[in-house]
Amino acid sequence: MSVRELQEAFGFETPQAIYKWQHGTALPTIDNLVILSAVLDVRMDEILVLQERCVA
């Protein structure tokens, strides 16, 4: 799904929020995360990727 398609699905006037999600500079709200998971047909935990810190 393209950024433009996501923008339209969310009803955003500009795609800036989606670009910020892609680049990790912002996270979607819980409400938008629920919608995003439904639109992409994936679980929310598949969208949120947490980096584990290795302690050596």
pLDDT of residue 16: 97
Place of tokens 């670009």: 19
d(CA 15, CA 12) in angstroms, rounded, equals: 7
Cα separations in angstroms, 12 against 1, 54, 55:
15, 38, 41
Give the type of residue at 46: E
What's the rounded Cα separation, in Å, for the pair 13 and 24?
Answer: 20
Tokens 């990727």, located at residue: 49
The one-letter code for the residue type at 11 is G
Summarize pLDDT for 1-56 with one digit per residue, the tens: 899 999 999 999 999 999 999 998 998 999 999 999 999 999 998 888 766 665 65
pTM over 0.75: no
